[in-house]
């Protein structure tokens, strides 16, 4: 069988063996319910406490009781937006988010708008950086929450989180950040960066799918969105997913430990990829910030052809990439992120996201770029659009 190459690590990663080893005993040996009062329950509770401590320490939370487990990044984002908007309704019904947020944020905002809330969507510049002057302009007396993602999942741009955190506090507004793509790529210090609420997820950092967490600084009010039990200090009902929580704790701890080493590896791979691409392919552009970025996400628009066609032909060669975020990859609409960055629809339609992971090698890149070059030439030969005219 031909070798398969996975360049879609921003969509999800495999579960590392150290994470799996942490999880496995929780399925058949330490299988108690952490809410139970007997020894089985207490053992499970100790596992959950350990994971909470690991996450709190990785993000420099003041206390581990500021970490709440969720079913993933999507639930954490929904909870942050709706839970805070509702809890502070008496102060105002206005929130501010960036235009390039993940749909977990944008769709939650749309639901709030149906309830009569107002949402301001702050534009970004062509690099994908939130325009700080526009952000300041958007904040009003009745604004309760600002949400700006730490790292964009499609183009990899890193926002000025510390500046935004400080600004929110100067204006007495709560600051939430979606750090799903940032954890493991950046040092996240919730105290230093003045982050009040932060979403994370397991499956982007070699942890399991269907698990995440929301950091909520003590003192911040947040309404529940899932009721039905006294778990998570009465904030989120439902029996805790102990194996996945154990996995998340380990994954966050490891991701935080190997941070600079991983980014250095990805920096070298990125440079290599770009030099190979320049040698073999013409008429394309790189999207996202040139420097203020994570190193493992590369978003490239190939002029004159469709990203979906590139993706499918690469897939036939055993090479996995994506056209944007995994959650919207089945939609044929141009990416809202690229659109917000001012990229024309016909250019955005030709975009591919390559995202490296722990297993990616230069040999993978050699194969991927060689196949890509053949595919781009083939598609352009049958495309009615002229790549050179962009």
Q: Which residues are catalytic?
A: 327
The DSSP result for 330-353, as a single string, is T--SPPHHHHHTT--HHHHTTEEE
Closest CA to 79 of 232, 284, 291, 301: 232
Residues 6+ apart with CB under 8 A from 160: 129, 130, 132
3-state secondary structure of 180: coil
Number of Cβ atoms within 10 Å of the Cβ of 260: 9
Check binding of 178 to ligand PLP (CB under 6 A): yes
| Chosen residue from 153, 287, 323, 335 binding ligand PLP by CB under 6 A | 153
Q: How far is the CB of 155 from ligand PLP (least distance, A)?
A: 11
In whole angstroms, give the CA distance from residue 254 to residue 226.
Answer: 30
Q: How far is the CB of 353 from ligand PLP (least distance, A)?
A: 11
| Chosen residue from 8, 52, 55, 72 binding ligand PLP by CB under 6 A | 72
Check binding of 102 to ligand PLP (CB under 6 A): yes
| Chosen residue from 78, 201, 244, 309 binding ligand PLP by CB under 6 A | 201
Our CB check for ligand PLP shows the closer of 243 and 304 to be 243
Query: What is the CA angle 210-35-255, rounded to 5?
Result: 40
DSSP state of 388: G
Stretch binding ligand PLP (CB under 6 A), from 72-80, 124-132, 224-232, 305-313: 72-80
Please identify the residue of the shown chain whose CB is closest to the bound ligand PLP.
73
Q: How far is the CB of 178 from ligand PLP (least distance, A)?
A: 5
Stretch binding ligand PLP (CB under 6 A), from 80-88, 165-173, 323-331, 364-372: 323-331
| Chosen residue from 43, 45, 77, 194 binding ligand PLP by CB under 6 A | 77
Binding residues for ligand PLP, rule CB under 6 A, total: 17
Our CB check for ligand PLP shows the closer of 193 and 376 to be 193
Check binding of 181 to ligand PLP (CB under 6 A): yes
Check binding of 180 to ligand PLP (CB under 6 A): yes
**Contact positions with ligand PLP (CB under 6 A) in 202-261:** 203, 212
Check binding of 324 to ligand PLP (CB under 6 A): no
Q: Quick check: 251 and 20 in contact, CB under 8 A?
A: no
Check binding of 104 to ligand PLP (CB under 6 A): yes
**Contact positions with ligand PLP (CB under 6 A) in 250-289:** none
Q: Quick check: 244 and 23 in contact, CB under 8 A?
A: yes
49 to 68: interface string for ligand PLP, x by CB under 6 A: --------------------
Check binding of 326 to ligand PLP (CB under 6 A): yes
Residues 6+ apart with CB under 8 A from 143: 92, 94, 95, 96, 171, 173
Our CB check for ligand PLP shows the closer of 144 and 181 to be 181
DSSP state of 14: P
| Chosen residue from 15, 124, 135, 149 binding ligand PLP by CB under 6 A | 149
In whole angstroms, give the CA distance from residue 280 to residue 350.
Answer: 17
Check binding of 74 to ligand PLP (CB under 6 A): yes
In whole angstroms, give the CA distance from residue 315 to residue 372.
Answer: 11
In whole angstroms, give the CA distance from residue 196 to residue 193.
Answer: 9
The sign of the torsion formed by the CA atoms of 353, 358, 359, 361 equals: positive
Q: How far is the CB of 176 from ligand PLP (least distance, A)?
A: 12
Four-point Cα dihedral 160, 324, 343, 348, nearest 10 = 170
Check binding of 327 to ligand PLP (CB under 6 A): yes
In whole angstroms, give the CA distance from residue 106 to residue 293.
Answer: 22
| Binding site residues, ligand PLP, CB under 6 A | 72-74, 77, 102, 104, 149, 153, 178, 180-181, 201, 203, 212, 325-327
């Amino acid at each position: 069988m031909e070798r398969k190459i996975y360049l879609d690590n921003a969509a999800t990663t495999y579960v590392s063996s150290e994470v799996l080893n942490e999880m496995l005993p929780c399925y058949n040996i330490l299988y108690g319910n952490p809410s139970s009062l007997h020894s089985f329950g207490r053992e499970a509770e100790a596992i959950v406490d350990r994971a909470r401590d690991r996450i709190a320490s990785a993000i420099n939370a003041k206390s581990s009781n500021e970490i709440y487990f969720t079913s993933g990044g999507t639930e954490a984002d929904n909870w942050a937006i709706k839970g805070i908007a509702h809890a502070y309704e008496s102060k105002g019904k206005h929130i501010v988010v960036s235009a390039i947020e993940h749909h977990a944020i944008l769709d939650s905002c749309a639901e709030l708008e149906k309830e009569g809330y107002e949402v301001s969507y702050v534009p970004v510049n062509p690099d994908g950086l939130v325009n700080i002057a526009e952000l300041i302009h958007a904040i009003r007396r009745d604004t309760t929450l600002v949400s700006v993602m730490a790292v964009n999942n499609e183009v990899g741009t890193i926002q000025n989180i510390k500046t935004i955190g400080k600004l929110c506090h100067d204006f007495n507004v709560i600051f939430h950040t979606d750090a799903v793509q940032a954890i493991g790529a950046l040092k996240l210090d919730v105290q230093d960066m003045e982050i009040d609420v932060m979403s994370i997820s397991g499956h982007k950092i070699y942890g399991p799918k269907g698990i995440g967490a929301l950091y909520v600084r003590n003192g911040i009010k947040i309404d529940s969105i899932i009721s039905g039990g006294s778990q998570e200090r009465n904030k989120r009902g439902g029996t805790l997913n102990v194996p996945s929580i154990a996995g998340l704790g380990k994954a966050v701890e490891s991701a935080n430990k190997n941070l600079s080493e991983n980014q250095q590896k990805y920096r070298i791979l990125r440079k290599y990829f770009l030099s190979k691409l320049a040698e073999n392919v013409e008429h394309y552009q790189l999207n996202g910030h040139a420097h203020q970025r994570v190193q493992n996400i590369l978003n490239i628009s190939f002029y004159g052809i469709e990203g979906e066609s590139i993706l499918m032909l690469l897939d036939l060669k055993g090479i996995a990439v994506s056209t944007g975020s995994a959650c919207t990859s089945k939609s044929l609409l141009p990416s809202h992120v690229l659109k917000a960055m001012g990229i024309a629809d016909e250019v955005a339609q030709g975009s591919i996201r390559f995202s490296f992971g722990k297993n990616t090698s230069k040999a993978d890149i050699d194969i991927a770029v060689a196949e890509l070059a053949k595919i781009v030439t083939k598609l352009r030969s049958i495309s009615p659009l002229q790549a050179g005219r962009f």
